[in-house]
Structure 1
């Protein structure tokens, strides 16, 4: 699995998951329950992971909806 996206904004993760699942790309959210350790202040970023084989296509899809910068 490769990291596709890292953000402190849970709405960005939710939007990215919806877009990727709609395109048939499986993804996995990491660090979702870290708020227990940080006290729910949103300091620790969440990561969105995809399979190695889906990374190129997932990056292209998220770039098209302006969730990823062009250099990533």
Structure 2
């Protein structure tokens, strides 16, 4: 797995996941439950991970759709 995106914006995560799943790319979201640790204030970023083989194509899809990956 390779990190594709890191953000505190839940709408950006949802949009990116929808784009990638529409292209048949499997996405795994990390740090979803950190809100318990931070008190639900949204300061810790969530990460989207993809398989190494899909990273180049997934990054291109997000770039083509003006999605900020946080990198």
TM over 0.5: yes
Deviations 1:4-61 (A, max 9, x none): 0000001100000000000000010000010000000001000000000000000000
User: Gaps spanning 5+ residues in structure 1: where?
Assistant: none
1 CA distance for matches of 2:39 and 2:65? 31
Query: Matches of 1:40 and 1:67 in 2, distance apart?
Result: 24
Q: How far apart in 2 are the matches of 1:67 and 1:11?
A: 11
* Structure 2 unmatched runs, 5+: none
Aligned to 2:49: 49
Aligned length: 70
Q: Which residue of 2 aligns with 1:64?
A: 64
By relative contact order (CA 8 Å, sep 6+), the higher-ranking structure is 2
> What is the TM-score when the length of structure 2 is the normalising length?
0.94
RMSD: 1.1
CA distance in 1, matches of 2:11, 2:46: 11
Q: TM-score with structure 1 length normalisation? A: 0.93
